[in-house]
Amino acid sequence: MTSGLKTKSRETVATYQERYTDAGVNSDEADAGLKKLTRRIVETWPAPDSMGAVKLDIGYFANVIDICGQGIAISTDGIGSKAMIATMLEKYDTVGIDCVAMNVNDIICVGAKPVSMVDYIAIEKVEAGILDAISVGLCVGAKTAGISISGGETAQLKGMVKGFDLAGTAIGHIALDKILIGRNINQGDVVIGVESNGVHSNGLTLARYAFFEKNKYKLSHRFEELGVDLGTELLRPTHIYVQEALELLSQVPGVKALAHITSDGFLKATSSTRCRLSLRSFQLFNVSAMSMKPRCSLSTIWGLDFAPSCRLRTRIELWPFLAARASAPTASALRSQTRLAE
């Protein structure tokens, strides 16, 4: 990457962070707090060769615990402010899918097969109908991911929670010698971007700011290119990538890494010296669900959930990174240049 592109990337990162701050998300403060939190929690870790040994550093999509020689992957996540969209629409039967997706999509990034999950519902006022609707989505998501919902907790927190919040913790299984963390990624490795089906469940704070606060759109507003009203689009369930990932891992030898990219994750990945990705040079293959072929000669897999944002940016510049960077691919450009590897 040239110095000019590096400078442009820094400027774009700064612009993006400013817009996120305007939306009420302080990434810098969160990162500072996370560093302090990490320094303390690693002190709870057992010795490397003992029961429950933690195999990875903090910061991966999931961690892996050694239980009697078996790797148990574990991750936790929630649906964030997508719960506010559900509350505004009074439609709760799909957010459970999002909760499952955000957890299992992280679990598969270390190469693990998701196995089970527990959920946590914090709610202002318990209504049986709302809990039932949430459970519908949880069960749909669990069946799609091939996991069980083995337990959970419901907390009535009037005065503390407005509306509801939904989160979960998932576990998976991975052989300790098969953990994927991108150890040997090299220049020339192939990158596969699996196009997302919507905004998913990260970045909704920025989306709400851009649509509702800055541009004063209503949930009923219809964008011609979306084909549905704004509320329906923002509530579209997060895609669960388990089936695609497991098929790919079973059929393609030499996979080095998987990444579940949401919100500003792609921006961070491309600006990271650790990843050393260049939008101008990497090879991108866009593959649809269940269309991978075992003859593919692939070595690196990244899930890139950014393409749908390109179709929205023409209206409101929801993703200033893609809008501002001249070398960034547009959705139409991605479609025109992608080929299925054979």
Residue 129 has a CB neighbour count (10 Å cut-off) of 9
- For residue 153, what is the enclosing H or E element? strand 148-156
Predicted confidence (pLDDT) per residue in 113-165, tens digit:
999 999 999 999 999 999 999 999 999 999 999 999 999 999 999 999 999 99
Distances (CA, A) of 210 to 23, 203, 215, 316, 318: 8, 11, 6, 7, 6
Domains and CATH numbers, the chain: 72-176 (3.30.1330.10), 191-337 (no CATH)
The neighbouring-strand residues paired with 20 are: none
The answer for residues whose C-beta is within 8 angstroms of residue 133's C-beta and 6 or more apart is 91, 92, 93
pLDDT digits (tens, 9 = 90+) for 229-279: 999 999 999 999 999 899 988 988 888 888 887 765 555 554 333 433 333
pLDDT: is 150 or 13 the higher one?
A: 150
Signed CA dihedral, 322, 194, 294, 108: sign only? positive
Backbone angles phi, psi at 229, to 5 degrees: -75, 160
First to last CA, the chain: 29
- The two most distant CA atoms of the chain are separated, in Å, by 58
- Under DSSP, the state recorded for 214 is I
33, pLDDT greater than 50: yes
Instruction: Name residue 4's amino acid.
Output: G
Could you report the per-residue pLDDT of 150-205, keeping only the tens digit for each? 999 999 999 999 999 999 999 999 999 999 988 888 887 777 777 778 888 877 88
310 to 37, 39, 107: CA distances (angstroms): 35, 38, 27
pLDDT band at 336 (very low <50, low <70, confident <90, very high): very low
Tell me if 189 sits within 8 A of 281, measured CB to CB.
no
148-156, strands of its sheet edge to edge: 53-54, 63-67, 70-78, 164-174, 113-123, 148-156
